[in-house]
Structure 1
Amino acid sequence: MQQLDWIVLIGTLFFIVAYGVYKTKGSKNVDDYIKGGSEAKWWTIGLSVMATQASAITFLSTPGQAFHSGMGFVQFYFGLPIAMVIICLVFIPIYHRLKVYTAYEYLETRFDLKTRSLAAILFLIQRGLAAGITIFAPAIILSAVLGWDLTTLNILIGTLVIIYTVTGGTKAVSVTQKQQMAVIFAGMFVAFYLIVSYLPADISFSKALKIAGASGKMDILDFSFNLDNRYTFWSGIIGGSFLALSYFGTDQSQVQRYLSGKSVKEMQLGLIFNGLLKVPMQFFILLVGVMVFVFYQFNASPLNFNPAATKTVQNSIYGAEYEQLENKHKEIELQKAEVNLKYGNNLNNVGLVTEIKNLNALDIENRAQAKALIIKAAPSAETNDKDYVFIHFILNNLPRGLIGLLLAVILSAAMSSTASELNALASTTAIDLYKRNVTSKKTDAHYVKASKWFTLTWGIIAISVACVASLFDNLIQLVNIIGSIFYGNVLGIFLLAFFIKYVKSNAVFLAALITQVIVIIGWYFDWMPYLWLNLFGCALVMLIAVIIQIFTKNKLVAV
């Protein structure tokens, strides 16, 4: 990184933090601090909801996901617009009518305090873990690529977020997220334009899409019912709908974003805006990853994109073997560049498509052998390099200044998502647990102060989780897996509250405990792809609650 990159990076982050503190200083009451004074317009809500979901993981992992597996991941988001409509029609009117600060307040109205507290605790567990990962994701990548100290990065990102989140609460989060989304959109569009411009002169964008298609990267829709396929049209529409319903309808980090709306209409328009824009946005980010793949069909790429893993094996007794694989990798790359260039100028040649597929198979096999050597050299080393693909492209191919801008995109995304999570964790702790279970006779100023202390506490917890976390198969999948383990259960509790009136609190409470244990066991033993855990958990808690209620009622009648 050059001096100009540092100026752009530090200047962007400093402006966001300072602007958030300046615009929101002086929140004196709970309504201002937790609901932002209920003043947000629909576009602020929409961008805030989107920024909360679009963490740094989105901009690090999603292009890498497309680089390795193509555009099929976009099916994960197909259920989101459906969920937005349901939430607008069912959830928002209820929350607004009851004037709740958190989603879980409604559960006490419908059931009792213990059910409300259980749902809040389930949220705190999964969102507390996720907050750590949203800090850890950019930190570990930047640490490995730039050589920065990982712990220092975790603390730096966490501290920046804590400063303005503690100061201004929900309003600070919403205000800064508009700036962060502007930086994010600008950076991604610039990156996309440059990637396409770096392709060979006679390879247009349309030809690049055909080249990607020859390698299977443009296979978007999978209508199979094979549960071994993680991302299909059906898992996206069904499992994705339940995940989105749970996340946007019951997760306080999202609910708090639209509860800050000025009216029901503003809240609904904000969510519809998010539903309409989110799928195209994810499609575009995946397309950026596909274009990075095409770029590396004509330009040199590392055998493994994780520089730390590469350095480890190169300095080991397996260094000579790894060098042989690197030489083979270079030969394959030269052949791929030649064949892809021919195909770009002769798109109807089926024989060239076969050659491309054969070379891709050789490349995949060679990379697998490299990963095996890395494991031999250091069994604990991270061989998965999906999350390093996009950052490698940024640092090695973008001009000065734009590197700083794209790093600002990654860190802005980390800050926006983490700020929402800390804000929601603090609000839930203060309102659902502290106020209802510890003390309910204090002033507004007391609860604002308590919320600030809880924000700080959760910030420290998130930084601590980030410091001890380890990389998973793919970070964006890890966050969604954590959510899927808990979300279905919580969604089922809310659906019981909304629609099945004869089920009472004790039945729901017991069913939720049983369901959570079963879902965790199901995930551990890999009963199904994680997206289906949302539907499984939701259906299971509702079924168990109804059975317990019927059994209890019959037992009372018999007595």
Structure 2
Amino acid sequence: MKTLPIIDLSIIAAYLVGMVAVGIYFSRKNQNADQFTTASGKIPGWAIGLSIYATFLSSNTFLGVPGKAFGSNWNSFVFSLSMPLAAWVATRFFIPFYRSTGEVSAYTHLEHRFGAWARTYAVVCFLLTQLARMGSIFFGIALSLQALTGYPMATIMLVVGSCIIFYTVLGGMEAVIWTEVAQGVIKTAGAMLILWLVVDGMPGGLSKIVEVGQANDKFSLGSFAPDFTQATFWVVLLYGFFMNLNNFGMDQNYVQRYHTTASVREASQSVWLCVYLYVPISLLFFFLGSSLYAYYQANPDLLNAVRMQVATERLPGAPPDAIRQLAATLSMADVGDKVMPHFMVNKVPAGMVGLIVAAIMSAAMSTISSGMNASATVFSVDIYQRYVSGALTDKQSLRVLYIATTVFGVLGMFTGIAMIGVKSVLDIWWMLSGIFAGGMLGLFLLGIISRTTRNAEALIATIVGVLVIVWMTLSAQLPDSMAQLRSPLHPNMIMVVGTLTLFLTGLLLTRLRGRGTQTQTTEPQTTASV
């Protein structure tokens, strides 16, 4: 089992102690639910912007993006390019709407608009999305720390998760935000440090990395052909726009932050600060993946070592010949998520490893802690107070929030454990989030844009939208004899098609009902004139 030097272990321990200390410090202020969920609206806009940026910059970005760029190209960067348009829609329409309602939950208004079923459906979708998000992030951090320490991934998730639960439960939203501000700085510095080490160790330096990348089409944004069966530029752009619109427009993680500022203007500025930071930094992570590709091409022995590591994990206890045979068949995409942890183990000097591990941990902890707080808030407001007990004292409300935060943290850890063995952490997160978020966003847009849509029309549209999402998700598992029933579209289109199906079906039903009403009112007049 690998053992980190004392200096690295000391840095990691100091980081964990610091995060827990922040939770303890802010625990003194949590006297009521408003302080726990929105920090009583006293957080400056720039801090909110950094916290949103830190939430976006999760371990999925820290590990999944370089792994994706290593195994393929920059096609997934198109997701980041869609952010400005989604941010414009959110700051122009959604943020003023949420601030005017005064509701801390993003989903309470759905009950006012369509009934209790709509609110419950959105809450269930959100909570499932959060479990998928937290699970994939737990998995990502365990993937790296296992390479560094040799400890089982499940053990790593349990230890790190316990620390996250502790400071999130104690400190509430204010602790989440201020730890995310620090974590955003740490993880950005960590990425820059890794990139510098790769470029510095590459024979030929930066120019050679660019040369190798161009020769192997590593900087491509994907095909621009109008093909929606592959991960083309347009497929990722559409998916990115709808997913980011869901994030900025109705994800409780972000909507809850809009209430922690003093004004609509500050809330809007926080979103734009996130965009200005995340787009160039996400590009840095893609370039890091391409740089690692060039580095491992120049060091084939290291690449073979990564392949052997992956093959050993896939065939535990198998004979050496079988492992070597499998290793020889593995593609760059098969080993993408393992490359950066391998580089850290073998090429990062003592002392720097601790800083980078702290950066990776911060990438996971920021997103998980905000997800836990948001999930607990939604559970308290939209489930417990709606269906169990609406009249809670401050002490009772805090108790519900504490328990719910802990439960969702534990569930997130076990979701991450269940993901052990997936090929790409970024792919699994995109697939799960698209499935759970598609119908939720479509229903929300229908309620906001179409003021005349009624409860029954929205319910039918939701059923149709969910059926389409389920079909597109499960049809790939159909046997060859039923191949004609499979969805021909790329999995990332599930989010797009599901959202549009629900939204357009609702509009169509509303229009048909309007025509029927008009016919009923005009027919008696026609008869009378005859």
TM-score (norm 1): 0.85
Match of 1:530 in 2: 491
Q: CA deviation at 1:511?
A: 2.1
Residues 56 and 413 of structure 1 are in contact (CA less than 8 Å); yes or no, is this contact kept in structure 2? Answer: yes
Give deviations 1:376-424, integer Å, cap 9, x for gaps: xxxxxxx932211101001100100111111111111111111011111
Residue identity in the other structure for 1:198: G
SS at match of 2:207: helix
Residues 114 and 455 of structure 2 are in contact (CA less than 8 Å); yes or no, is this contact kept in structure 1? Answer: yes
Give deviations 1:435-455, integer Å, cap 9, x for gaps: 112211222332122111110
Residue identity in the other structure for 1:224: A
**Structure 2 counterparts to residues 176-325 of structure 1, below 5 A:** 176-200=179-203, 203-220=204-221, 222-232=223-233, 234-299=234-299, 300-303=301-304, 305=306, 308-311=309-312, 319-320=320-321, 323=324
Q: Which moved more, 1:61-70 or 1:90-99?
A: 61-70
In the alignment, the residues of structure 2 paired with residue 36 and residue 314 of structure 1 have an alpha-carbon distance, to the nearest angstrom, of: 49
Residues 135 and 412 of structure 2 are in contact (CA less than 8 Å); yes or no, is this contact kept in structure 1? Answer: yes
Q: CA deviation at 1:271?
A: 0.4
In the alignment, the residues of structure 2 paired with residue 157 and residue 231 of structure 1 have an alpha-carbon distance, to the nearest angstrom, of: 37
Give deviations 1:331-389, integer Å, cap 9, x for gaps: xxxxxxxxxxxxxxxxxxxxxxxxxxxxxxxxxxx966257xxxxxxxxxxx9322111
In the alignment, the residues of structure 2 paired with residue 152 and residue 204 of structure 1 have an alpha-carbon distance, to the nearest angstrom, of: 38
**Structure 2 counterparts to residues 37-116 of structure 1, below 5 A:** 37-116=40-119
In the alignment, the residues of structure 2 paired with residue 165 and residue 311 of structure 1 have an alpha-carbon distance, to the nearest angstrom, of: 37
Residues 313 and 319 of structure 1 are in contact (CA less than 8 Å); yes or no, is this contact kept in structure 2? Answer: no
Match of 2:159 in 1: 156
Residues 84 and 271 of structure 1 are in contact (CA less than 8 Å); yes or no, is this contact kept in structure 2? Answer: yes
Match of 2:480 in 1: none
Match of 1:351 in 2: none
Match of 1:461 in 2: 411
**Structure 2 counterparts to residues 130-169 of structure 1, below 5 A:** 130-143=133-146, 146-169=149-172
SS at match of 1:442: coil
Structure 1 pair 426/307, CA: closer, same or farther in 2 (3 Å)?
Answer: farther
In the alignment, the residues of structure 2 paired with residue 130 and residue 420 of structure 1 have an alpha-carbon distance, to the nearest angstrom, of: 11
Give deviations 1:474-532, integer Å, cap 9, x for gaps: 10121111111122211111111111011012321332233123202212225222332
Residues 487 and 534 of structure 1 are in contact (CA less than 8 Å); yes or no, is this contact kept in structure 2? Answer: yes
Q: Which moved more, 1:205-214 or 1:99-108?
A: 205-214
Q: CA deviation at 1:552?
A: 5.8
Structure 1 pair 306/207, CA: closer, same or farther in 2 (3 Å)?
Answer: closer
Q: CA deviation at 1:24?
A: 4.5
Match of 1:369 in 2: 329
Residue identity in the other structure for 2:212: I
In the alignment, the residues of structure 2 paired with residue 385 and residue 204 of structure 1 have an alpha-carbon distance, to the nearest angstrom, of: 23
In the alignment, the residues of structure 2 paired with residue 545 and residue 264 of structure 1 have an alpha-carbon distance, to the nearest angstrom, of: 30
Residues 132 and 433 of structure 2 are in contact (CA less than 8 Å); yes or no, is this contact kept in structure 1? Answer: no
In the alignment, the residues of structure 1 paired with residue 24 and residue 308 of structure 2 have an alpha-carbon distance, to the nearest angstrom, of: 37
In the alignment, the residues of structure 1 paired with residue 310 and residue 239 of structure 2 have an alpha-carbon distance, to the nearest angstrom, of: 35
Give deviations 1:201-242, integer Å, cap 9, x for gaps: xx142342122211211223532222243141x223332111
Structure 1 pair 467/218, CA: closer, same or farther in 2 (3 Å)?
Answer: closer
Q: CA deviation at 1:65?
A: 1.0
Residues 297 and 303 of structure 2 are in contact (CA less than 8 Å); yes or no, is this contact kept in structure 1? Answer: no
Name stretches of at least 5 consecutive residues in structure 1 with no aligned partner: 326-365, 372-382
Name stretches of at least 5 consecutive residues in structure 2 with no aligned partner: 477-486, 522-530
Residue identity in the other structure for 1:66: A
Matched, 1:500 2:429: no
Q: CA deviation at 1:315?
A: 8.0
Residue identity in the other structure for 1:244: N
Q: CA deviation at 1:146?
A: 2.7
In the alignment, the residues of structure 1 paired with residue 89 and residue 407 of structure 2 have an alpha-carbon distance, to the nearest angstrom, of: 34
In the alignment, the residues of structure 2 paired with residue 370 and residue 114 of structure 1 have an alpha-carbon distance, to the nearest angstrom, of: 47
Q: Which moved more, 1:405-414 or 1:464-473?
A: 464-473
Q: How many aligned residue pairs are there?
A: 505
Residues 228 and 493 of structure 2 are in contact (CA less than 8 Å); yes or no, is this contact kept in structure 1? Answer: no
In the alignment, the residues of structure 2 paired with residue 219 and residue 425 of structure 1 have an alpha-carbon distance, to the nearest angstrom, of: 37
In the alignment, the residues of structure 2 paired with residue 9 and residue 231 of structure 1 have an alpha-carbon distance, to the nearest angstrom, of: 40
Match of 1:546 in 2: 507
In the alignment, the residues of structure 1 paired with residue 291 and residue 428 of structure 2 have an alpha-carbon distance, to the nearest angstrom, of: 24
SS at match of 1:305: helix
Give deviations 1:1-60, integer Å, cap 9, x for gaps: 211111111112221221233134331122211111111222211111121122212111
Matched, 1:394 2:323: no
In the alignment, the residues of structure 1 paired with residue 323 and residue 171 of structure 2 have an alpha-carbon distance, to the nearest angstrom, of: 52
Residues 472 and 491 of structure 2 are in contact (CA less than 8 Å); yes or no, is this contact kept in structure 1? Answer: no
Residue identity in the other structure for 2:500: A
Match of 2:526 in 1: none
In the alignment, the residues of structure 2 paired with residue 317 and residue 432 of structure 1 have an alpha-carbon distance, to the nearest angstrom, of: 50
Structure 1 pair 173/306, CA: closer, same or farther in 2 (3 Å)?
Answer: farther
Structure 1 pair 401/307, CA: closer, same or farther in 2 (3 Å)?
Answer: farther
Match of 2:374 in 1: 424
Residues 61 and 476 of structure 1 are in contact (CA less than 8 Å); yes or no, is this contact kept in structure 2? Answer: yes
In the alignment, the residues of structure 2 paired with residue 468 and residue 107 of structure 1 have an alpha-carbon distance, to the nearest angstrom, of: 32
In the alignment, the residues of structure 2 paired with residue 152 and residue 367 of structure 1 have an alpha-carbon distance, to the nearest angstrom, of: 27
Give deviations 1:74-104, integer Å, cap 9, x for gaps: 1122211100010000000010011110110
Among candidates 386, 389, 392, match of residue 439 of structure 1 = 389
In the alignment, the residues of structure 2 paired with residue 206 and residue 541 of structure 1 have an alpha-carbon distance, to the nearest angstrom, of: 49
Paired-residue identity, %: 26
In the alignment, the residues of structure 2 paired with residue 368 and residue 246 of structure 1 have an alpha-carbon distance, to the nearest angstrom, of: 41
Residue identity in the other structure for 1:419: S
Q: RMSD across aligned C-alpha pairs, in angstroms?
A: 2.5
Match of 2:426 in 1: 476
Q: CA deviation at 1:249?
A: 1.0
Q: Which moved more, 1:72-81 or 1:82-91?
A: 72-81
In the alignment, the residues of structure 1 paired with residue 343 and residue 310 of structure 2 have an alpha-carbon distance, to the nearest angstrom, of: 17
In the alignment, the residues of structure 2 paired with residue 322 and residue 459 of structure 1 have an alpha-carbon distance, to the nearest angstrom, of: 36
In the alignment, the residues of structure 2 paired with residue 101 and residue 449 of structure 1 have an alpha-carbon distance, to the nearest angstrom, of: 18
Match of 1:6 in 2: 9
In the alignment, the residues of structure 2 paired with residue 139 and residue 317 of structure 1 have an alpha-carbon distance, to the nearest angstrom, of: 24
Residue identity in the other structure for 1:222: S
In the alignment, the residues of structure 2 paired with residue 367 and residue 152 of structure 1 have an alpha-carbon distance, to the nearest angstrom, of: 27
